[in-house]
Amino acid sequence: MASKDNASSVAQNFVEEINYDEIEKIEIVGKGSFGVVWKGRWQDRDVAVKHIETEAERKAFAVEVRQLSRVSHPNIVKLYGACTVDKVCLVMEYAEGGSLFNVLHNKPAPTYSAGHAMSWVLQCAEGVAYLHNIKPKPLIHRDLKPPNLLLVQGGTKLKICDFGTVCDQKTYMTNNKGSAAWMAPEVFEGSKYTEEFEINFTDTEIYFFIWDKV
């Protein structure tokens, strides 16, 4: 079972330990089974503070800290550090534009063009390609979906987030991790999850983004 002590040891080994009292909490911007995400201020920058409130999510916390500490790419959300003393949380880059899920489903729908949509798809593909080619161990995200694709810089820049299910390419997924609504049919049938499934995702999501723009 994961514990706060385990979370602390993981954070100390991979990222900066952030004093929770140094973070100014501004407003709640998201909720999920893991807990709550706050918009905050830390060291004169806007940050997203992802609070971890369940034991199951602390296991994912450890994975996310380890994997995000390995990556640095314009299309992947930046991890600044973690809090593990009084609270268990991740302190990450804040995406003021929200997620692509919001773009697709909010009412009234935000205005965007086919050019925006194609740019988002290209940026997602570039982030995925980086993960698949990172050394010494390439990574597979395993939960690519619109809620995990964030927008910054006025909606012009896309960033992949939520690395709690990431694994290296030698660790094949056969236990259906990820989100069912966006999962490849082959995975439901017990096939090994490889990078091809994520490449297929970027192809199919084009239709979500530009269906009513062409």
**Residue numbers belonging to the annotated binding site for ATP:** 50
Residue tagged active-site, from 143, 168, 203, 212: 143
Q: Are 111 and 154 in contact (CB under 8 A)?
A: no
Task: Specify whether the CB–CB gap between 147 and 101 falls below 8 A.
Answer: yes
Helices 195-210 and 114-133, packing angle to 10 deg: 170
Under DSSP, the state recorded for 212 is G
Residues tagged in the binding site annotation = 50
Alpha carbon dihedral 6, 10, 15, 20, in 10-degree steps, equals -10
Tell me the Ramachandran region of residue 186: left when phi exceeds 0, alpha when psi lies from -120 to 50, beta otherwise.
Answer: alpha
Strands 167-168 and 139-140: antiparallel
- Alpha-carbon span 87 to 75, nearest angstrom: 28
CB 86 within 8 A of CB 30: no
Q: Is 46 a catalytic residue?
A: no
Structural contact between residues 38 and 28, judged by C-beta atoms closer than 8 angstroms = yes
Q: Which residues are catalytic?
A: 143
